[in-house]
């Protein structure tokens, strides 16, 4: 019986330990989200909770208000990296990827601290639009404001970042190793490169006859509605009206899939793009570029 109390104390201790590195992130109207000090001067949160062109403030674990700037974001993974001078706040301890097993207890943390508990449901799933190994599925409740907060093990070590999940009771988290790769971009290059094709797209339904003829599983794709001149897509010969089926073997069923396929790692790589033009399948080789700065 005392071992249950030991477990209870361990969970409370894990919350207390991890909460020392947790911030409230004020980057959207009304509901603040949560962030974690990942590296000295770098706070990680969920990209969808930080609006662009908006002043971001953070509330430190001891209640102080500090300002932050977006250093980079990966909308596909839903992770944003913020720069902030967080003074005496300790950097979160990360758990080694290999330690995590299905069934392990995990806690989700919000600023405050607030906490919920559950188990790891699946590892190495291809959840949503993330690549294999970037996400874990967890069975717990993410309460409003938990987005961007850490998922921690019973020792208070961070195993991932909570983003927006699949449903109320099955949630995905971005694994710590994937978050660290994004933080590396910021430390090494000062930003997270945004991969760029230079096309605007709209969703389209694929006619049954076409799907049968080409042996396609996907029911929808996207149609190219504009191509920027001198962009990677334009140079590769993509034209308005092309129906985009896949980028680098990843099926494109809707415009958001294009965003997800354009991971930071793809900048500078040449990928195969499958299209349908005039009812006929074609393959084009596109050298993925980096999105030019806005403005």
Residues forming beta bridges with residue 82, ordered by sequence position? 43, 70
Residue from the set 31, 102, 143, 202 that interacts with other proteins by CB under 8 A: 143
Whose CA is closest to 77, among 157, 201, 195, 202? Answer: 195
CB 172 to other proteins: min, Å: 19
104 vs 191, which CB is nearer to other proteins? 104
Q: Which residues pair with 289 in a beta bridge?
A: 196
Binding residues for other proteins restricted to 80-139, rule: CB under 8 A: 99, 104, 107, 110, 112-117
Total residues contacting other proteins by CB under 8 A comes to 32
Of 153, 186, 243, 266, the one binding other proteins by CB under 8 A: 153
Nearer to other proteins, 35 or 156 (CB): 156
Among 65, 67, 141, 202, binds other proteins (CB under 8 A): 141
154 versus 206: smaller Cβ distance to other proteins: 154
7 binds other proteins (CB under 8 A): yes
* Rounded CA separation 158/172 (Å): 14
Nearest CB to other proteins, comparing residues 113 and 248: 113
CA distance 57 to 52: 13
Question: Closest by alpha carbon to 179, among 58, 38, 47, 76?
Answer: 38
Among 8, 65, 202, 220, binds other proteins (CB under 8 A): 8
CB within 8 Å of 171: residues ≥ 6 apart:
108, 137, 138, 139, 140, 141, 142, 162, 165
Q: Is 82 exposed, middle or buried (0-12, 13-18, 19+ CB in 10 A)?
A: buried
CA distance 6 to 12: 10
Distance of CA 20 to the CA centre of its chain: 23
- Which of the stretches 4-12, 41-49, 191-199, 244-252 binds other proteins when contact is defined by CB under 8 A? 4-12
Which of the stretches 2-10, 191-199, 229-237, 266-274 binds other proteins when contact is defined by CB under 8 A? 2-10
Contacts with other proteins by CB under 8 A lie at 1, 3-16, 19, 99, 104, 107, 110, 112-117, 141, 143-144, 153-155
């Amino acid at each position: 019986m005392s071992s249950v109390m030991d477990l209870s104390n361990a969970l409370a201790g894990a919350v207390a330990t991890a909460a020392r590195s947790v911030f409230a992130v004020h980057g959207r109207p009304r509901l603040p989200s949560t962030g974690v000090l990942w590296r000295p001067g770098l706070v990680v949160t969920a990209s969808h909770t930080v609006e662009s062109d908006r002043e971001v403030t953070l509330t430190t674990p001891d209640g102080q208000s500090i300002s932050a700037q977006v250093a980079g974001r990966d909308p596909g993974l839903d992770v944003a990296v913020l720069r902030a001078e967080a003074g005496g706040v300790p950097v979160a301890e990360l758990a080694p990827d290999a330690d995590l097993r299905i069934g392990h207890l995990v806690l989700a943390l919000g600023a405050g601290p607030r906490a919920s508990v559950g188990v790891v449901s699946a590892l190495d799933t291809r959840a949503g639009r993330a690549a294999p190994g970037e996400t874990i599925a967890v069975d717990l409740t993410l309460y409003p404001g938990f987005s961007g907060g850490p998922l921690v093990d019973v020792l208070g070590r961070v195993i991932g970042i909570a983003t927006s999940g699949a449903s109320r009771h099955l949630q995905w988290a971005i694994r710590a190793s994937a978050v660290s790769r994004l933080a590396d971009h910021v430390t090494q290059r000062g930003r997270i490169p945004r991969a760029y094709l230079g096309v605007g797209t709209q969703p389209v339904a694929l006619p049954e006859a076409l799907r049968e003829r080409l042996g396609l599983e996907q029911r929808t794709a996207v149609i190219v509605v504009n191509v920027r001149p001198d962009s990677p897509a334009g140079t590769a010969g993509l034209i308005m009206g092309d129906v985009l089926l896949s980028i680098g073997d990843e099926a494109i069923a809707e415009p958001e899939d294009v965003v997800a396929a354009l991971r930071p790692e793809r900048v500078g790589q040449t990928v195969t793009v499958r299209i349908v033009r005039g009812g006929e399948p074609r393959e084009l080789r596109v050298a993925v570029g980096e999105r030019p700065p806005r403005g």
